[in-house]
Amino acid sequence: MTGEPSGAGDAGSARSAGGVVPPAERGATRIADRVVAGIAAQAAREALGHLPPDVARPHTGVEVRHGTARVRVVLELDYPCDVGGRCAAVRRRVAERVEELAGRRVTEVAVRVERLHLVPPHGAAQGRTR
């Protein structure tokens, strides 16, 4: 008897010469869909920058299959603004961050603007005028 627990010799034989376990035998990391959705929501907030306090934060839904992700983003915007430009910025940022942080290739980012909030021009009078 060598003093090794039973089966310990088997684990040692799976190691390479340098004592490192081969990648195929290390296991896998699973990232939950809700984590990918959280990354997407944070990325959408980053892309939008500062929003007025009455504007709701973006919310997201994801579908992850075979290492790819499809993302849906629902957001509200201040208005007037370049709606198309802001949606394009959200799509770019969400795709970049999900790929970078979750390792998922993003095949689609669908952005839906649910509401526009009218923001008075800077310096405009508030209330009634005579």
- Per-residue pLDDT tens, the chain, 130 aa: give them: 555 555 444 555 555 566 788 877 888 788 899 999 999 999 999 999 988 888 899 999 999 999 899 999 999 999 999 999 999 999 999 999 999 999 999 999 999 999 999 987 766 555 555 5
User: Position 8: which residue type?
Assistant: A
Task: HSE, CB side, 13 Å, CA atoms: give it for residue 59.
Answer: 4
d(CA 112, CA 107): 17
Residue 78's Cβ-count burial label (10 Å; 0-12, 13-18, 19+) is: middle
> How wide is the angle at C-alpha 63 spanned by C-alphas 67 and 34, nearest 5°?
95
